[in-house]
Structure formats: structure tokens, C-alpha cells
Structure 1
Amino acid sequence: MKKSADAIYYGGDIITMGGDNAEYAEAVVVKDGKIVFVGDMESASKMKGGSTEMHNLEGKTMLPGFLDAHSHYISSLSVAKQLNLYPPPSGPGKDVPSIMAELKRFKAENNIQDGELIQAYGYDDTVMPDGRLLNRDDLNEALPNNPVLVGHVSMHGAVLNSLAMEKWGLNEKTETAPGGVIVRKPGTNEPYGLIMETAYLPIFGSLPLPTKTEEIEWSIAAQRMYAENGITTAHDGATHFNDIMVLDRVSKAGANIIDVIAYPFITELDTILSEFPIELWGKYQDRLKIGGVKVTIDGSPQGRTAAFTSPYLTGGPSGEKDWLGKLTFPQKFINDFVKKVYEMGVPLNLHANGDGAIDAFFRAHENAAADDLTKNRNITLIHGQFARKDQIPKFVKYQITPSFYTLHTYYFADAHIANRGREQAMYISPLKDAIDAGLKPTNHTDFVVAPLDQLFMLWSAVNRISRNGEVIGENQKVTPYEGLQAMTINVAHQYQEENLKGSITQGKLADLVILDKNPLKVEPVAIKDIIVLETLKEGKTIYKRGG
């Protein structure tokens, strides 16, 4: 080296994530934001200069920075301004009275004036005691003078009070859009409970964004939240036009402390292309990259809107019998969407939860890619939770990367057992079978659907323990190392960034995370208690616990 190193890290467990099995290095040398050496301490010491910072890890663990395989980054900007109504242990929303009390408290403590919109997130109807679900009248009683929107934990819907319904033009004359759900008051046609899927899309697309004076402050706060969890690359799934304009302005202002990858939603693709032509896609500009296109073709299994080939045991969200769920769009539309993305030659992220939706995507693929079904088109199937065992070979044949969601084994297992039966529930997010088939699956939090907590996500993949302490699919547990692969090197593969990220390798970016303990050495049940101590982006500390 002509110049001395900027920093040398040593004295701990440095897991490189560079192979099929755990490999350790004695030292890592960083220069100009990149890793310039990985290996023995004697060789690393020769790169020390007068200005080199020596960092003794003191027995702690270093890994490559965690890569977010799928979340809703743009939603994190406003989370700090909203009320958390996750059920315990992640929030206070254990039942309807608790939710009503929290809404009243939130308004009073934040001095919110009458007439202002109040938003909350994390409402989980599947854990409400005795089937007593939140409805319009509850929200009217709690906050009669404010429009209130309580987002469903799936992010695919919400419960609104009367003022919010008036704000968005919902009433007894509102027809349910194809692929949508509007729960009506029994005996009437009045919207009353959850509004889901395509019926919710117009509301979701018009939710308030930060003002131009707020957006930088909110973005920095959001990215710090990702950094606190060891994440150096964030994902925004289903980016709308207004969202991407916010991301672009923030990026051009130089405010990004981590990388952000956006996936424009298919219904707004043409509008986004008019502002961001395809020549700009696929490369970072000020730490923002447009990575491809997002297509959603079904809903959420816990919301009973995912599409299956067999009926839900509990019926539909509005009491429908023999309910299979619904595709978000007709098969012809799905075929056209997939074909359009393939013709663009950009990566496709496709949301499909139920086995029926996965079949629908395979049909669309077989229609759009008939000339070469096995070509690598950089396809990621987001969630894929209820993939059948017989569907795994098609993932392999068609070179589709599944991005699974093992947090459901904890947060929603009881709902899945009730809705789908034990056999299907025990096979959700079949990470182990995908690995054994030769795939490189990833794992994600889907934040803000589930809390942003990468170590808890890893714990869920390794242990698969439900809220009630039951193991959900013993044979789909993975090793801690396989779980780490699904949040580092495999995600780099998903993003076609293996040359930059995902492992501690010479020439890659110095995106690193330091943990207080080694996930490969603690008891598997203790992985969730590991603490992120420091996160580095291109060699610079962007989060330090207590700092």
C-alpha cells in the first residue's frame, strides 16, 4: 500500500461470511471506505501508519453490515409521528379498550388539535380477545373530533373512523374494488371495519408525506433507526411517485447515511419513468438506487386476503364462506405486468403470500418468458410464505430468489394455524428446504409490518418459536450461519451487489456491524438478546450504542 490504512480492526470474532461455512479473520484493514485487507494480524500491522486508528474489538463480533431484503423504508419516515399499536411485546395494542385508551393518550400528550389526522400502525386483528375487532364506532368514541386511521399490521389496510371516511370519500354507496375488501356494518352497507387491498390503495397512496422542510430531518431519523439495527442498505418496496420524489430530494441534499434501494410500484411505473428514465436505474446516485419494479398480486395471510388453492378454515374477512382469498389483479393483468417488467430488462420484486398467488405468478412467468423459462431475470418473490413443497423446484428452475418472512413464526403463527390448519402453518417460510434445493433465500422484517429487529429476525429463523412457545416447523429451522447468510451475502446476491457488499472481503465496501456477542457461539435461544454496538457505512461510524 502506498498510503497507510485509515483503520485496523482486530481482537474479536471477525466472521467474513465469505464461504459456505463460517470463516474467521484476525484483522480487517479499511482505507477510503473500502476493505483493503482481510487476514492475519501480522500482515495487517504492516499497513499501520501514523494516522491509522487501531480498533481492538475486545472479544466482540464483527460482521458485514446487514442488508435489508424487504421493508417499507418510506413508511419509516412517518412512524415517529404515529402511534405504535402493535400487540405485546412490541406495543400496547392487546385489545380494543387498550387501543382506544392509547389513541386518547396519544392525542393529549402530543397536543394534537381537533381536525388533525391521527395515524397509528400495527393493529393486529388476529390477536384481539374473543374475536372483538376494532371498528369505526370505537374510533368515533375514542376521538370524535379527529379523522383517525389505524393501519393494519399487514400494511394492506386500515380501520377508519367516520371523519376519516369522509376525508377519503367512503360511504354506503362506495363499491368494493375488484381485489379489495370493505368490511360493512352487519345489516347495512356502511363501511365499518377493515378496508383492505385494492380498496385501500387510493387511501394509502394519498397518505400525508413529510413537508419539504421536514423530509430531511425525518429521513435522517429513519436511517438512524435502520443503522441502530446494523443495517447499511435499506429497501423500499412498492415506491409511489410522491415517495420517490421525497427520496430523490433527500438524496440530492446529501442527507443519506445508508444506501436506499427503491422499487417503484407497477401501477405508477409510467409516471415514475417520465421523471426517472430507465437509464438512471440500477446505479447509486447519492446513495439512492432504483432497483427494479414491485408487483403485488395478493394480500396477507393473517388478514385473510392472501390467495390460496384451498379455503380458509375461518372464512373471509367479511364472513365469506369457502373463501380462497383473492388475487389483487386478474390473471391477465398479472401476466401483462410481469411481461412489461421482463421486457424492460430490470429486476422484478413480486409479492405473493398464498400458494394460489405463487401459482398465478408461475403462470405469468410461463406466459412472459416462454422463449426461455430458465433465464436469470433477477426475480425475487417477496414473502412466499405459503409456498408448497412441490413449488420449490420451480423456484430453482426459473431462477427465482425467495425472500422469506420467518418472523411470522412468532408474530402470526396462531392466526395461521387457525386460518390455514397446522400442516400448512408448520411449513411457512420454508427457508431450510429452499437452501437444501440450492437456492440463496433471503429473510426480511417487512417493517413496519413487523418491528425492525434483525437479531430477532435471525432468532426466528433459527428457533421458529411462536408467541405461545410452540415450535412452528422443526424441519425448517436453519443454522445460525445459514440465517446470517440470508441477511448478508444472499441479499447482496438478490441486489446484484455481491461485488460490493454482503461479506468482509478485500475490495468490498467497509459496511460493517459490531455485536456484543457472536450469534454462532451463543445458545440459539439467546440470539435475540444480542446487541448491536456499532454500525459503519463505508468505514465511518453511523451508529454507536451510547454515543
Structure 2
Amino acid sequence: MKTPQLKLMSALISSLLAINCHAKEPAVSADTIYSGGNIITMNDAQPSVQAIAIKDGKIIAVGDTSTINNTFKSQQTKLIDLEGKSLLPGFIDAHSHYFNSLQVANQAQVYAPPSGTGKDVDSILATIKQYADEHKIPKGELIIAYGYDDTVMPNGRLLNRDDIDKVFPDNPVRIDHVSMHGTVMNSLALKKYGYSDQTETPAGGVIVRKEGTNEPFGLIMETAYLPVLAQAEVMSPEEEIKATKAGQKLYAQNGITTAHEGATHLNQFETIKRASDANANIIDIIVYPFITDVDAILAKYPVDKWLQYNNRLKVGGVKVTVDGSPQGRTARFTTPYLAGGPAGEKNWMGELTFPQDTINKMVKKVYDLNVPLNLHANGDGAIDAFFEAHQSVAKDDLTKDRDITMIHAQFARKDQLSKFKQYKIRPSFYTLHTYYFADAHLKNRGKKQTDYISPMRDAIDIGLRPTNHTDFVVAPLDQMMMLSSAVNRLSRSNQVIGETQQVTPLEGLKAMTIWAAEQYNEEMNKGSLEVGKLADMVILDNNPLTIEPTKIKDIKIVETIKEGNTIYKTK
């Protein structure tokens, strides 16, 4: 039994301990502190730090471990030891087709090796047959595959309607071209989507006909493909939620915390909007309505609601497409393709998607809306066509910053880069073509032009801050492969494609973080690890700045964090 003196002393000690503990409690307690690895900030003023503190989804401190722990660690703070791994800002997708991620979860994947098994006609059809059997797809139901790459087909033996009919006589089958600018269909699919020998080829479109007849032989490209896009399969609300979660998981698995929907049609926008309203998004989604659907989308979602997030969804501007795909030989050039056109045309330079006068009107419409413009242009002829539109529409102030991003800009000539800078156009390059499609470009365009595709080095050197993208599902959603392609520019055959355009790993990372944030006018909140910014982060199993450059592609995503919460983690 304690005496009064002991009771008094015990109370005094408890009081002193309480005061002491209270003194150690920080004024601001971090939810999480990361340390023990390579923290790469993308902030030139403070390129790397030892630790980073997070609270309520935002970064509250970066610096040395002891200072941050002493200042922000409480009993409730979770301490994360990176164990030598690398922590970077979450990757920002500069251009892909997010909506397709909702669809491909229920499609057969037929990418060419090493990304898939589609090395020839037989292997493509075998893969789709296996998929149909595994999913027990009944007769009469549509089967869709994606990733068909005709540029790697041996001996020029391409897919056609008859090939697919032999394996799938009872199902409509659509095998979408890797460029996303077309598809190959069997007879039942052609009938389903309304193509026949009576269908005229629209301007800017391609319908390959069976030799000696006017019958469509399967391949449909560019504007002739638009009716297929307009007949997207309708999902139930439950299917929309399920597809949204599956699609965003693909992005999270690749370290992406902000995704891009690069050409949004009305039905796609409505699907994305419904899922967003149901709070299904785990990452930020930025959509760009396609120019032909802008009025319909504006009628449902006025422009004063654009350029701001609502349930992680933002309308970022408008998309205009000027030409097609260089590997599909539908991109517009100022000189002929060496291999002719997709249907055997001679002296073929590709075509503009729309007539020049129409392009001018489309560009004016976007400028009048005063919203950002994303402009698809691959060939140097298409880039010239946009310059002509810009000079016509904006002749009173050519150098005003109008938030223009030229998507792909792959075959920009060196003399065109100066106009990018003069007209304040940000190029979003596509360096993955140095790997996936280099052989096709060498055949179609020759070595000189191929070596200069996606001239990122020259763009940076003249003061531009380009971004880089996958164009998923055209290329796999692989951020480390994308970074490697910018740094190494190695082809499938392990040849360097344009050594003079290689960039450093740090520059390559900026093109997918801070410069991509600038593309969306979000650099105040994203793109680097700085105080006040969102805690959008990715953890890698190795350091892309110090690893041997050709091994960058082998780096694995360990964890993806969106506003302080883990949305993907390896098991």
C-alpha cells in the first residue's frame, strides 16, 4: 500500500512523463514517412532526398531522414523502409486510349512477339481460337481481338476475311489493327457493321477489296473504320464499374497515377462519366473529346465544367486527328512511301484524315472554345497541314500559348521543330516505335527518316519540354520499356535507331513525370516530389538513373501510390 508521499511522487512522475511525451509529439504528424532508398524527386532544385513525409494524401516534407523523423514522426506515423528501392513521382500518361483498357479485359491479345504470340496468320488465329474456347463464347457472339501488327507478318502474308472465316464460320470476328486506326473482319463481322461490295470508300479511308471484285477483303482503315467505333457494345452499369476497375488496374500496375483518354466519342464519355459518378476511379482520368463529338458532349457537359476534376475525371480539351499511322501507311508525308500504299497504291504519300479546309475549321473551333488542343499528326505532311491551319486561324497572334500538344509528331523534320518552339507547341513523342515498328519504318520510309523518328534530343536541346507516351493499346502499357526506348532507341533486331536522338534517363523520366504534368497544367500538384503536391508515387525495384541503360526495361514496378494510398503492390 502506497504512503501519501509515494502517491504524491508517483503522480508527479506520471505528470512529468506526460509532459515529456507531449513535448515530443510533433505539431504536424505525418501519416507515412518513406526512407531507406533512392528518392528521385524530379525537382532540379533538390534532385534527391533521404526521406519524404505524407499527410492527408499530400507531401508535407522532403529532406534528410533524421530531420523529417524528428519533426513529423508520431506514434501513429507509419514508417516505410524502401530497402534500397527507388521512389519516384507517379507516372503521368501523356497519351493513351484509356477507354480501350475497359474493353481489352474481354478481348484476345495478339501483339507480335515479345509482347504476344501474334507472329503470323496461323498463330493469331490460334490465339483467338484458344481465347474463344476458354471463355466458352457461343456461336453468333462477337469476338474481338487487339494488337494485330501486319508489319511483322512473314513474307508479307497478311490476315484477310477468308482466313478468319475458315476458323470462325459461325461468329463475327474483329481483329483490331495495332495502330488502332483500323481492323480486319470476317464475313459475319463485315455484315454486322454494314460493309458490303456496295460500300464506297470514304475520303481519308481504306477498304481493301478482294482481288477482281469489289467485296471487302477484311482490312478497314481510317475514316472507313469510324462506323465500327460508332457501334461500340453497350455495357450495363455493373459491367461499366467492373470494366473501369479492371482497366485502371492495368494503369496502376504500370506505375501510372494519371491516365489519358486520347479520342473520346460521346458513348465512351458517357460510360466514363457514369463510372466516375459512381466513385469507381482509383486514378485520375483526363479525357479529350474527339472533334466530331464535341458538340454532343458540350450539350451534356458544358465547357465551364471542363479543365477541373470531378470524382477524378477531367475533360482536358479537344482531340483533332490530321493523319493516320506510319506503320499502317496511312500517315501523310511530303514524299512517297517506298513500299507503296496499304492497298498497293503507287506514289503513295498517305492522306490527311480530313480535307485541309475542314482541318482549318476544326482548329478554329477549338481555339474559339479556348480549351487545350491535342493534335494527332505523324507524318511531316500532316505536321505541315497543322501549321497551315494554325497560320490561317491564328494569323493575328501566331505565338500565343494555346495549350497545344502534338501527339506523336514522329516524323517531324528538323526544320519543323523550330516552329514547335515558335508556336508554343509541345510535342508528345512516341519513342517506342524505335523498337516495335523500326523495321516497318525502314522499309516504308528509309534509314534517314527512320533514324529521326521522335527527335527528342533535338527538341530538348532547342528548349522544348517534350513528353513521351505508349499510345496504349497500340503498344503495351509498359513505362519502363517506354523509358528504355527513349534512352537506348534499340529495335527488335537490337540495332540503334537514331543514336543522335538518345536522351539521358533523367530526361526520359521527366518526359513521363514533371513535363507530362506541365502538358496538363498540373505541375503545381503533380510530376515531382515537392511539399504541397499530391502524394502520387511509384516504387521501382531498381534505380533507372544508375542501372546499366539497356537493363532499364527490366525494372519492375513494386508499388503504386495515389494520394498516399497504395493502389497496386506486387505480392
State the TM-score, normalized to the length of structure 1: 0.99
Selected match of 2:54 from 30, 38, 41: 30
Decide whether the 8 Å contact of 1:338 with 1:365 is kept in 2: yes
Selected match of 1:167 from 192, 198, 209: 192
Write the deviation string for residues 443-485 of structure 1: whole angstroms up to 9, x where unpaired. Answer: 0000000000000100010000000111000000000000000
Partner of 1:197: 222
Write the deviation string for residues 299-345 of structure 1: whole angstroms up to 9, x where unpaired. Answer: 00000000000000000001000000000000000000001101100
Distance in 1 between residues matched to 2:155 and 2:43, nearest whole Å? 49
Q: Does residue 1:297 correspond to 2:319, yes or no?
A: no
Distance in 2 between residues matched to 1:171 and 1:294, nearest whole Å? 30
Q: Which moved more, 1:38-47 or 1:339-348?
A: 38-47
Distance in 1 between residues matched to 2:163 and 2:126, nearest whole Å? 11
Distance in 1 between residues matched to 2:176 and 2:194, nearest whole Å? 18
Distance in 1 between residues matched to 2:84 and 2:326, nearest whole Å? 42
**RMSD of Structure 2 on Structure 1 (CA):** 0.9
Letter in 2 for 1:10: S
Selected match of 1:489 from 487, 511, 514: 514
Distance in 1 between residues matched to 2:30 and 2:109, nearest whole Å? 44
Selected match of 1:522 from 529, 536, 547: 547
Partner of 2:10: none
- 1:284: Cα distance to partner? 0.2
Write the deviation string for residues 156-215 of structure 1: whole angstroms up to 9, x where unpaired. Answer: 000010000111110111000110001111111111031000000111221214322211
Aligned with 1:215: secondary structure? helix
Distance in 1 between residues matched to 2:223 and 2:458, nearest whole Å? 33
Aligned with 1:458: secondary structure? helix
Q: Does residue 1:374 correspond to 2:399, yes or no?
A: yes
Q: Which moved more, 1:231-240 or 1:189-198?
A: 189-198
Letter in 2 for 1:42: S
Aligned with 2:539: secondary structure? strand
Structure 1 outlier segments of 4+, above 2 Å: none
Partner of 2:278: 253
Distance in 2 between residues matched to 1:290 and 1:43, nearest whole Å? 41
Partner of 1:363: 388
Partner of 2:443: 418
State the TM-score, normalized to the length of structure 2: 0.95
Partner of 1:44: 68
Distance in 2 between residues matched to 1:515 and 1:456, nearest whole Å? 13
Decide whether the 8 Å contact of 2:85 with 2:542 is kept in 1: yes
Decide whether the 8 Å contact of 1:210 with 1:218 is kept in 2: no
Q: How many residues align?
A: 545
Q: Percent of aligned positions with the same letter in both sequences?
A: 63
Aligned with 2:395: secondary structure? coil
- 1:254: Cα distance to partner? 0.8
Partner of 1:275: 300
- 1:103: Cα distance to partner? 2.1
**Unaligned 5+ runs, structure 1:** none
Selected match of 1:19 from 32, 44, 61: 44
Distance in 2 between residues matched to 1:153 and 1:359, nearest whole Å? 25
Distance in 1 between residues matched to 2:357 and 2:461, nearest whole Å? 34
Partner of 2:126: 101
Letter in 2 for 1:35: I
Distance in 1 between residues matched to 2:235 and 2:194, nearest whole Å? 23
Q: Pairwise mapping of residues 85-484 of structure 1 onto structure 2 (< 5 A)?
A: 85-484=110-509
- 1:102: Cα distance to partner? 1.7
Decide whether the 8 Å contact of 1:69 with 1:444 is kept in 2: yes
Decide whether the 8 Å contact of 1:297 with 1:329 is kept in 2: yes
**Unaligned 5+ runs, structure 2:** 1-25
Letter in 1 for 2:164: L
Letter in 2 for 1:81: N
Decide whether the 8 Å contact of 1:78 with 1:209 is kept in 2: no
Decide whether the 8 Å contact of 1:103 with 1:143 is kept in 2: no
Aligned with 2:224: secondary structure? coil
Write the deviation string for residues 49-80 of structure 1: whole angstroms up to 9, x where unpaired. Answer: 12110111111100000000000000000111
Decide whether the 8 Å contact of 2:190 with 2:218 is kept in 1: no
Partner of 2:19: none
Decide whether the 8 Å contact of 1:259 with 1:287 is kept in 2: yes
Write the deviation string for residues 423-460 of structure 1: whole angstroms up to 9, x where unpaired. Answer: 00010000111000100100000000000000010001
Aligned with 2:238: secondary structure? coil
Letter in 1 for 2:317: G
**Which structure is larger by alpha-carbon Rg, 1 or 2?**
2
- 1:3: Cα distance to partner? 3.1
Decide whether the 8 Å contact of 1:103 with 1:142 is kept in 2: no
Letter in 1 for 2:497: I
Decide whether the 8 Å contact of 1:62 with 1:513 is kept in 2: yes
Aligned with 2:137: secondary structure? coil
Partner of 1:80: 105
